[in-house]
Structure 1
């Protein structure tokens, strides 16, 4: 079926292309200094008022009528070039861009053309520029891409000390996080103090919040796509740093100059050294390893092999209590150019996420492990018909194995017996097609469709219940056994996508987008924040796929020769089969977990305002988001409507970097948000001598407002200019005015300042938990 799909599509677009006497200009755009392909470079032909952009692999293709043109190549942070090219036949032209003006034959410096903010059909997408991110303040001196994502409009942070984020009313598990196309199921180190992404190896990262392209599927709310650098193919380079939180080193070099290169990077925490110096038996550490090899066989074939592994290990009480979690991924990619217009990317992916928890005790000792493995094969093709017409299409296949829990005694006297929950298996197919077409000079459409086919597979056993929603006393009445590769349940869904851009003028446009997203993996968690110790489960006999429809409208304008980008977006999202758990649900080690599931409706809407300055000595962003996120699920909050855990009505984010001179750069970041909802007891009742809390409303209370100011200063000594290796100092202050921001709230028996119980012990009080006060940090980086 897939072959027929591809043949028919190619036949269609080929017939359209043959009807016109046109030629194609294509090639790659690279960085002059290190040979890195540049993503998102604008390739623009002023005579035709048309252009394109390099794809995720630095490749571009533009088909135009025969003639002589001035082709402009431009990218933020690089010197633009205008190249005079005579196109009387197909031409392949590779371009190198540098950070300083260069005098070349037939090349002149030009003004940057209209930015992607206005001309691109894609809306609700934010690209994070790593050079800008590295100028901003950091926590513990670690540059963290996730912390910057949390500051984007439409994104809600779960709070300090966590890598979780929520996009346009969606849950933290509804974000697909990718590194070199491989999924990361938990992006946190140390529970969220820093993320798994080492800034040294990141080439570019993009967050899609709406109008999500049809090549993406599997999550409801957002796609965070992180791509790593390929490695310097011109010369040896070493980057290293030591900071308050971690130390790191990266080596990159050519294997064969201009043909192949590699990177090898490692990062490890310094916290173990501090704990040793403090003479404590507690242990806290994490590490990351990134590796990548790429080889250009010729201009039509390029191969990549990349991998990531990272892990956290934490132990307390002299090692008697310990837990750990980690991600491992491997990606093999083959870029192939069939002809000057047809570009293919074939990817083979493997990933693993696992966690463990252990208590070492002669009687109560046990070890609990859980894991999720995924293997995927993807083929994505892009057919560049002409300057006004582009097709993308492909097929994705993923296989997953879910291992919810294995509990083993770790001593002969342990009270625990070996218990293993049934593994679950699933196949996920995705077939998609998309056509971006410029209808008139002002109107451009991007229409796509994705077919999602999900199969819950054997081997496995499905239990039937007298009442599947009776979690108080679940009664099994029968069971069904399924053999290997036997289908337990199949779900088929169509996911239409639509993007419309209408240009009001050269520097103004309005955009409209719609997308339907389907999610077949569900996070088994009762709390607000996704933690490493939560469990993932596939859609199946009882659990239906989650489905969300989102529509967004935006106005986009560039100011002062594209120095400023401004945008306003409004959106509405409606979701069904959203998974939550019944009040007072028992989640952990529950073999009747099916009876705890509850699915219902969720909806969210909001407005996002942003002004972004990308160029000049002063750069930065100001954004404001107003939003609401609501749910209504049978069996939760007595069936009444309630605010989602991440419903924060007002969020303001500001950041800026100012280059005082070639020596000093100063950065600042401020964030404010109204308090998030939380569930607290509203009463208590007596049950013998036991005084349990009574909760009458889900998320009926809000924590205080959150706000914080961070500052940084970066010192690049002038003597760097005269030596091969360059040193850099980064000084940061986190929470400058030491604001006590509430992380969570709990209740306890009322006590005095010394911990003595007040009265008869029946009176209770609420207590706030705060994480980080005023915290300075320093990092020293070297590069050569």
Structure 2
């Protein structure tokens, strides 16, 4: 197939002019141009071909390969520190070009026992152009000149995905494993060397099981595991106004969060009375059944009186030291849900 993508940025908005036409927060803009409501600003277009082939070895075994190109006109810029994630969605404009993504894939697909079981193994490679990332110390939340806080460059990724699925019987579900890597190489970031973006997670495992005890009762179990996020931990600190300020390496995302994993469980009761005009079900579930404390963020700061809850002005400060405070969102979380439909 072939698709033709068109993108038009429209006002209201402002475009800034920079020396030599290059956005730089160290240099002031030399002029600006304002655009009225619905006035055309920046325009992009691109052809997006898609090619796919399937070879049927027999009724249960097939080989598939595909190529596709996509243009993405909306990107997300994320910080790489271990603190609270700060994201800003950025539309393509005069200075930020749309991402061009080219991907090829090859997969093997096999069914067993009259489609009771499915197995697939698929590999892919993706090439990216015009990907963006934040410069060190970027401030993107309260600025109209976000282009001065962003660098753009190239990226690539590759991986292998395996899936085993059971489709029929009282017990159904699937087991999936993915090994993948994502890379970026952007001038001005990580000294121009290749690095892993925040979302690079080499290993990912998902296990989903569902069992029907009767027409009314069923149970489900889900387990997920993935490698930790790629982040930048401080390599040192310095004192400023009696506060420890973290110092980061010039190389991006050399560290990782601990691996993420959790298990969820649920029991469902359904109304099996065929005479009713509506059907309902009760679902009793537990999120993170073994209470895993998966880190959401790390804060590197001064700890007073060996208690992370104490601030410098809360009470008499007897001691202080550099420390790390981990934030997590949920551990053991039960819930009850009622669903109905006509």
Instruction: Please give the range of the TM-score, normalised by the shorter of the 2 chains.
Output: 0.7 to 0.9
| Equivalences for residues 674-685 of structure 1 within 5 A | 674-685=227-238
CA distance in 2, matches of 1:782, 1:658: 21
2:206 aligned residue: 653
Q: Deviations over 1:334-367 (max 9, x none)?
A: xxxxxxxxxxxxxxxxxxxxxxxxxxxxxxxxxx
SS in 2 for 1:642: coil
CA distance in 2, matches of 1:453, 1:570: 30
State yes or no: 1:671 paired with 2:224.
yes
TM-score by length of 2: 0.87
Task: Please say if residues 474 and 595 of structure 1, whose CA atoms lie closer than 8 Å, have aligned partners that are also in contact.
Answer: no
1:780 aligned residue: 338
CA distance in 2, matches of 1:600, 1:636: 10
State yes or no: 1:643 paired with 2:201.
no
CA distance in 2, matches of 1:640, 1:759: 45
2:151 aligned residue: 598
1:500 to 46, 49, 53: 53
Measure how far apart 1:591 and its partner are: 2.9
| Equivalences for residues 171-320 of structure 1 within 5 A | none
CA distance in 2, matches of 1:498, 1:709: 39
Q: 1:547 to 1:562 in 2, by over 3 A?
A: same
CA distance in 2, matches of 1:491, 1:504: 42
Task: Please say if residues 171 and 209 of structure 2, whose CA atoms lie closer than 8 Å, have aligned partners that are also in contact.
Answer: yes
Task: Please say if residues 610 and 621 of structure 1, whose CA atoms lie closer than 8 Å, have aligned partners that are also in contact.
Answer: yes
Q: 1:484 to 1:706 in 2, by over 3 A?
A: closer
**How many residue pairs end up in the alignment?**
333
Q: 1:672 to 1:694 in 2, by over 3 A?
A: same
Measure how far apart 1:482 and its partner are: 5.3
Task: Please say if residues 583 and 637 of structure 1, whose CA atoms lie closer than 8 Å, have aligned partners that are also in contact.
Answer: no
CA distance in 1, matches of 2:279, 2:34: 64
CA distance in 1, matches of 2:239, 2:62: 63
Larger of the two Rg values belongs to structure = 1
Task: Please say if residues 528 and 645 of structure 1, whose CA atoms lie closer than 8 Å, have aligned partners that are also in contact.
Answer: no
CA distance in 2, matches of 1:693, 1:710: 37
From the two aligned structures, give the one with the greater strand fraction.
2
Alpha-carbon RMSD across the aligned residues, in angstroms, is: 2.8
| Equivalences for residues 59-74 of structure 1 within 5 A | none
1:57 aligned residue: none
SS in 1 for 2:125: strand
Measure how far apart 1:487 and its partner are: 4.6
CA distance in 1, matches of 2:152, 2:195: 14
From the two aligned structures, give the one with the greater helix fraction.
1
SS in 2 for 1:453: strand
1:79 aligned residue: none
Measure how far apart 1:616 and its partner are: 2.0
CA distance in 1, matches of 2:92, 2:271: 56
Q: 1:717 to 1:537 in 2, by over 3 A?
A: closer
State yes or no: 1:544 paired with 2:102.
no
Task: Please say if residues 243 and 302 of structure 2, whose CA atoms lie closer than 8 Å, have aligned partners that are also in contact.
Answer: no
State yes or no: 1:693 paired with 2:246.
yes
2:28 to 455, 475, 497: 475
CA distance in 2, matches of 1:734, 1:657: 16
- Structure 1 unmatched runs, 5+: 1-447
1:766 to 313, 321, 324: 324
- Structure 2 unmatched runs, 5+: none
SS in 1 for 2:30: strand
TM-score by length of 1: 0.40
Q: Deviations over 1:111-158 (max 9, x none)?
A: xxxxxxxxxxxxxxxxxxxxxxxxxxxxxxxxxxxxxxxxxxxxxxxx
Measure how far apart 1:690 and its partner are: 4.8
| Equivalences for residues 548-559 of structure 1 within 5 A | 548-559=101-112
Measure how far apart 1:688 and its partner are: 5.5
